[in-house]
Amino acid sequence: MDAKQISTYVSDIIEDIKNNGDKAIFKYLKNFDNIDLSKKGYRVSQKAIDDAAKRIPKQLKNVIKSAYSNILAYHKYERSQIKKRWNYVRSGLKIGQFYTPVESAGIYVPGGRFPYPSTVIMTAVPAMAAGVKRIAMVTPLKNMNDTVLFSAKLCGIKEIYCIGGVMAVGALAYGTKTLKKVDMIAGPGNVYVNEAKRQVFGCVGIDSLAGPTEVAIIADKDVPADYVVADIMAQVEHDLLAKTYLLCESTEKISEIEKLLPKKAFKQLKTELCSLSKAVDIVNNIAPEHLELLVKNYRILLKNIRNVGAVFVGYQTPTASGDYWAGPSHVLPTNGSAKFSSGLSVMTFLKRSAYIEMSKNNKKAYRAIADFAQAESMQYHKKSAEARYFLSSFFSKCKVKTADIYP
């Protein structure tokens, strides 16, 4: 389908969900997943969640817990660096800002070739750290395996729904009898999920419109070729739309890397021989999701990097470290959107509100407000200030009539 056809297709499903709720959900589950959940329902029971946790091998459970611990620590620290409120006094005004979390968030965990327990943690933990009270998770039934359910349990998620794609986004945005609507939807998905998020934006908030994964690698002449090959293939294995860029200063190193690289990777790889400083310019233009600085003197380059979702610094830091374990969320801007947006974080789930408090005797300010309102012919704005400038009963003496403004 082309973009117009996708838009229409998505719109029709969302409208159906909006009008028919669970009835539409059950219809699409039957059509797309060939399963009838009309009697059982599509919310995962607490027993199923608990049983999944029991089936996971202890070693794997400890690995997931270790990653969860790192990711939670990072986002708690991030939250501690954001002032809950601040203000200052100027010209008789007390002005400032304060942050509050959204009350509810829908976490979208994508389907695809593999289950993604890492995305559960990477998306839910920032919401937890922000203070979101209610988190609902959706993911396609085929990806609802034990590791996904255990990761959700670890994050304290009690609402888990085995639906994915457009219908999941529609249900989160507009609500059904089973799934109460949310205020924010976060998490990556395919082109249909992205279009659905785009269409419901305004009814709910969204984090971003994430496209296929991508990595740019700046490599010097001394980097071990095995590192580069492994990191390129780590992106390629996501899907056929993944993009990789190799920017290297050495012809010999490029040749060494290409000899080790499987042939299937070349379709998704763009290679350029260039200086390291030129590589930085290229990266800032591409604005990739991931950037690896596989160079010895990375600090010189790092200070000039402006447009990137996440930077992986030095020979010993593969993109996979951020995908699973390091701390920052792996939900990052793609398709050049790092030029104007950031990765998913605590800030994704926080709302910023302005605070304004005027003192009783600030006549100079009231006069300025009234004069500005007069310049825009906004008579009741003017009187709103003048009522405080003079007496509280002044408005009753106002000569402006409603009919003068609303003829």
Give the annotated binding-site residues for Zn(2+).
235, 238, 323, 381
Look up residue 210 and give its DSSP letter.
-
Instruction: Please enumerate, by residue number, every residue annotated as part of a binding site for substrate.
Output: 213, 235, 238, 290, 323, 376, 381
Location of structure tokens 């002044």: 394
Structure tokens given for 147: 């590791």
Cα separations in angstroms, 104 against 175, 180, 187, 213: 12, 10, 14, 27
Q: Is 351 helix (H, G, I), strand (E, B) or coil?
A: strand
Q: Which of 129, 193, 190, 181 is nearest to 155 (CA)?
A: 129
Three-class SS state of 296: coil
Measure Cα distances from 68 to 139, 161, 299 in Å: 19, 21, 29
Cβ-contact 87, 94 below 8 angstroms? yes
Find, among 57, 69, 52, the residue nearest to 324 by Cα.
Answer: 69
Active-site residue, selected from the candidate residues 214, 256, 289, 292: 289
User: Annotated binding site: which residue ranges?
Assistant: 213, 235, 238, 290, 323, 376, 381
* Sequence-distant contacts of 356-359: CB under 8 A, at least 24 apart: 356/93, 356/94, 356/95, 357/93, 357/94, 357/95, 358/92, 358/93, 358/94, 358/388, 359/92, 359/93, 359/94
Q: What gap in Å lies between CA 328 and CA 309, rounded to an integer? A: 11
Position 321, amino acid: S
Catalytic residue among 195, 290, 292, 386: 290
Is 290 among the catalytic positions? Answer: yes
Handedness of CA 63, 325, 48, 127 (dihedral sign): positive
Is 289 marked active-site? yes
Q: How many CA atoms lie within 13 A of 360 on its CB side?
A: 2
Residue 91: both structure tokens together: 């010209």
Q: How many residues does the chain have?
A: 407
The pairing of beta strand 104-108 with beta strand 184-186? parallel
Residues 6+ apart with CB under 8 A from 51: none
CA gap 278, 341 in Å, rounded: 23
Q: Which residues are annotated as catalytic?
A: 289-290
